[in-house]
Structure 1
Amino acid sequence: MIKTIEKYPVLSMLVLVLLMLLPSLGELKVTIMEARNFISAREMLSENNWILTTLNGEQRYEKPPLPTWITALFGLVFGIKNVYVLRLPGVIMVWLTGVFVYLFSKELTQNKRNSFINGIICVSSFYIVGIIVEAPWDIYTHGFMMLAIYFMYKNYQQYHLKRVLLAVVFIACSVMSKGPISLYALLLPFLLAFVVVYGVKNNFITRTLFPLGLGVVLGSGWFVYVRLADPEAFLKIAEVETANWSSYNVKPFYYYWNFFIQSGIWTIPAVLGLLYPYMIKRVKNVIHYKLSLFWTLFSVILLSLVPEKKARYLVPVLLPLAINTGFYIYYILEKCASKIKKAEAMPVFFHFGILALVAMLFPLVAFFMFQEVLLSNSTTFLIYCLGLFISGSFLLFFLYFKVMWSSFYTSVFIVILLFVAVIPVNPGFANQNINYNSIAQLKADAEKENVTVYLLDAITPENLWEYGGIIPKIQKTAKGYIFPEASEFGVLVNDSTLINSGEFNQKYEIEKKEIYDLNLGKFNTRKHKPRYVNNYYVFTKK
């Protein structure tokens, strides 16, 4: 079985990603960043705003459009309302990123088995998976840059025009996905690490600058076009975005020092793989280990220099970290077969042992924590629990007899089951709000009644996505609101106290129709957020 898996690494990684992500892909609530992407994709199809991208009909230039174009194309083919389908491109990018981590590692180590481990670590790292929902642009920009780095590295070894052109294309795609972010957080650390480890080899500068320069120029085409076509809006948005880097979500320099925990289940091996004095005496490919180590550390340092910090910004670090961690995992798996010292084996046995216990105890813990949700998912839950308990038992068995390669692949299977099992039974993903009321039906109802719906203050992207179309905003000037000409129209408002304004009551009969609440958490709890609530009124002229 193991030989079959390792014989087809690219296909095996695809199966791993699909098994891990597809069963629960439609279960998760649409996040704010996802909603922005989906809405812009919807308006590309409905309003033909493919270049001058919009969100609720207003300019949305904060992010370049390549990921949204891809989302829109999937929506065009399979339906723009199908969230499951709209998330599929992100899943494909996770797989492609893992594949090119594997291919790059194979170029480094000339060891197919070690490289396959690196790819598996990459695609099963916590934030590599989580980012496709939390911030869809990130997996595109860093995934495309990983592809570019692979072809650049190949080109350093032996020049080939096709590799240069592919590097140019993927650098351009990365820039078109999230601007210069991956250039700074993934490519620059790689180039610095390359120079530190290998030195400046013949033609290194020319073989770097040409694809880099041409890729950036091509990738910047959209920015240049929008700057010329809509300069006022572009500059205003650019000013806000630039200011955020130094004034928004500012964290101290050391905020990212726990970066290794973002790899999820690989945290312990990741830490041990970073211990240079320990690893340098044990890895066969010392110079290539140094590349992955410096690449990881330079990426963390460069990200730490930027005042604005968020945990998800560490995603580019996880790519070289997967390679670095793979050096440690491979050493342990190979060495255990020839008996290593107990002290040296303890951390990895602890790592696998913890995972085995989590798998075996999950049914008990889940039963006590998620009882309410389990009542409606009992059959599915029992199947997952049985699979986890059996897998955990096998993992302990393999550990006891030091069958390390079987232990590794069993642990990967446990990770798949945990991904699939936790989401359906976790109350954080279940609807516990008795007042939950989706806004999804409002658009159809308003059209049936021949009433146009307007927005008075604000609506979250999540609610706007649920609504299904553009909601024009009632504009406010120094002289007051500019009301629609229609004798009757609908008004959505987040802050219902605004409706008490005398300006409205003097001119209109106001009838409250509905409260739309997209919260899943119970009222008066931390999970119930006022921003998800919109009040719907019908205004009729007196």
Structure 2
Amino acid sequence: MIKTIEKFPILSLTIIVLLMLLIHLDVPNITIMEARNFITSREMIQDNNWLLTTMNGEPRYQKPPLPTWLTAISAMLFGANSLFALRLPAAFMVLFLGIFSYYFSLKLSLSKNHSFRNSLILVTSFYVIGIINEAPWDIFAHGFMFAGLYFLFNFFEENKAIWKNAFLAAVFFGLSMLSKGPVSLFALFLPFLISYGIVFKFKTFKQKIVPFISFILLFLIIGSWWFIYVRYADPEAFLAIASRETDNWSSYNVKPFYYYWSFFIQSGLWTIPAFIGLLYPYMIHRVLHKKIYKFTFLWTIIAVVLLSTIPEKKARYLMPVLIPLALNTGFYIQFLIKEFSNLSKKKDTLPVYFNFGLIATIGVSVPIILYVILNDSLKLFITNYILTAVVLLIIGILLFRSLVQKNMKNTFYLSVCFLVSVFVFGLPISKVFNKNEAFTPINSLHKYEEKHSINTYAIGNLTPEFIWDYNGKIKNIYKNNDIKTPTENKFGLLLSSENFNKISIELNTNYNLEFIKTYNLNVGAKQKDRLISQFYLVTKK
């Protein structure tokens, strides 16, 4: 079985990613970052705002439009309100990233099987998967950048097809900029360039100066044309948004320099192998390709250091680090596959037994764990419970056997199977946590509006989840501590309890406020105030 999988690496990788991500792509609840992107894509289609992008009818120039274009195209093909359709482009970008990881590894002179395992480590890393549900822009920006780095590496290393590699690198660099501006240039390209210079020395660069300059000019043209267009088409909104975004870098979500230094945890399943792979003094004597290992090690560490210098820090900003980290971790996995059966020292074996033994223990414990979690909801998820419990129990037992036999190749692939099985069989069970009995979707408001012939407004900006679920635009009439009262004699009003206390006196002077309903988009037991809004019918006195 393993020989067949390794014989067709791209096909195997494709099947694994599609099984893992596509079968239940619509199951996870929509997040705030997704809602922003999906609203913009919907308004692209409905209002034809393909260049001057909007959210709830207001300019939204914080992010370039390429991921939203792709999302909108998918929505037009498969359904404008289908989460599956809207998430599909981001899911395919995970596969895109995995494929380029495989070919990049081959370019680093690694074996076919080693390269395949590198790509599997990458696409099964926790935050590479998680990022497509939290922030679709990031996977596009870093996926396209990594493709560009593949061709740039060819450009630096080869003396043939120089202009072709420069052109293709420029195209993908430009697409990356059209996905999230210069973010990936700083987080992925710059550490790549520094580590390449340290290890490979730019030996034949002099004869490539002209095509390299052309590469820079071309990717800047491709990546910046939208920014230039918006700057002149809507300068006031563009400059205001740019100013807010720039201020955020130094004043929003400010974390200490060391905040990112547990970054290897973001690889999830591969946390301990990733950490050991970063122990340079330990690894350098145990790898065959010492020069390449040094390159991936420096690329990873320099990326973390550079990201740490930015005051604004979020866990998802670490996602690009997982790309070189996966390549680096692959060296440790390769070492274990070749040498683990010969290792006897506890410092060599204990981390392996702990990491993969933990996965095996979880596997054999899943039937009990899920039974306790599901409790009274067991009947609702009985099919998924049985399939998940049986499959993970079998994988757990096989993992224990492989560890006893010191067969690290089987252990590696069984660990991948473990994660894929969780997604294929277990993901629908996550719906058991949607226990909020007060959950009230706001899309039902349209019926009330039609019945009473009213429009609905908001006091304060509603969260993107509300706008997405409403499936329309809700204008904010409270800005700069001033209410811009609608001209209608009767209208609907959405506001939080806090905002009601602020403006009720002012409204009560000329209007009667009748409480109608509370809309609550919290799907879980934990209640977030930003997802709760009261609806009032407002009538002029």
The residue number in structure 2 matching 1:534 is 533
Work out the CA distance in 2 between the residues paired with 1:81 and 1:464. Answer: 13
Q: Secondary structure of 2:518's match?
A: strand
Work out the CA distance in 2 between the residues paired with 1:497 and 1:481. Answer: 12
The residue number in structure 2 matching 1:430 is 433
Q: How does 1:230-309 map to 2 (within 5 A)?
A: 230-309=234-313
Query: For the structure 1 residues 170 and 447, does the alpha-carbon distance in structure 2 shift closer, same or farther, using more than 3 Å as the test?
Result: farther
| 8 Å CA contact 1:373, 1:430 repeated in 2 | no
The residue number in structure 1 matching 2:166 is 164
Amino acid at match of 2:118: N
| 8 Å CA contact 2:388, 2:426 repeated in 1 | no
Work out the CA distance in 1 between the residues paired with 2:23 and 2:367. Answer: 19
Q: Secondary structure of 1:250's match?
A: coil
| 8 Å CA contact 1:171, 1:212 repeated in 2 | no
| 8 Å CA contact 2:440, 2:519 repeated in 1 | yes
Amino acid at match of 1:73: I
The residue number in structure 2 matching 1:68 is 68
CA deviations 1:181-219 (Å, max 9, x no partner) are 100000000010000001121126625443233212320
| 8 Å CA contact 2:384, 2:426 repeated in 1 | no
Greater mean deviation of Cα atoms: 250-259 or 501-510: 501-510
| 8 Å CA contact 1:452, 1:490 repeated in 2 | yes
| 8 Å CA contact 1:102, 1:116 repeated in 2 | yes
Kindly indicate whether residue 495 of structure 2 is the aligned counterpart of residue 493 of structure 1. Answer: yes
Work out the CA distance in 2 between the residues paired with 1:350 and 1:248. Answer: 38
The residue number in structure 2 matching 1:340 is 343
The residue number in structure 2 matching 1:452 is 455
Q: Secondary structure of 2:492's match?
A: strand
CA deviations 1:278-325 (Å, max 9, x no partner) are 211121111111110000011001001111111111101000000000
CA deviations 1:436-476 (Å, max 9, x no partner) are 10001212442354321112223110111000011123255
| 8 Å CA contact 1:105, 1:118 repeated in 2 | yes
Structure 2: state its 5+ residue gaps: none
Q: Secondary structure of 1:491's match?
A: strand
TM-score (norm 2): 0.95
Amino acid at match of 2:170: V
Structure 1: state its 5+ residue gaps: none
The residue number in structure 1 matching 2:22 is 22
Query: For the structure 1 residues 415 and 218, does the alpha-carbon distance in structure 2 shift closer, same or farther, using more than 3 Å as the test?
Result: same
Work out the CA distance in 2 between the residues paired with 1:115 and 1:519. Answer: 43
The residue number in structure 2 matching 1:218 is 222
What is the Cα deviation at residue 39 of structure 1?
0.3
Q: Secondary structure of 1:49's match?
A: coil
Q: Secondary structure of 2:512's match?
A: strand
Amino acid at match of 2:278: L
Query: For the structure 1 residues 98 and 476, does the alpha-carbon distance in structure 2 shift closer, same or farther, using more than 3 Å as the test?
Result: closer
Work out the CA distance in 2 between the residues paired with 1:409 and 1:287. Answer: 27
The residue number in structure 2 matching 1:318 is 322
Greater mean deviation of Cα atoms: 453-462 or 291-300: 453-462
Q: How does 1:407-422 map to 2 (within 5 A)?
A: 407-422=411-426
Work out the CA distance in 1 between the residues paired with 2:508 and 2:340. Answer: 79
Work out the CA distance in 2 between the residues paired with 1:55 and 1:381. Answer: 40
Amino acid at match of 1:178: K
Q: How does 1:5-16 map to 2 (within 5 A)?
A: 5-16=5-16
The residue number in structure 2 matching 1:472 is 475
What is the Cα deviation at residue 477 of structure 1?
6.9
The residue number in structure 1 matching 2:149 is 149
Q: Secondary structure of 1:509's match?
A: strand
The residue number in structure 1 matching 2:35 is 35
The residue number in structure 1 matching 2:405 is 401
Greater mean deviation of Cα atoms: 483-492 or 324-333: 483-492
State the number of aligned residues: 535
The residue number in structure 2 matching 1:384 is 388
Question: Aligned Cα RMSD in Å?
Answer: 1.8
Work out the CA distance in 1 between the residues paired with 2:287 and 2:503. Answer: 71
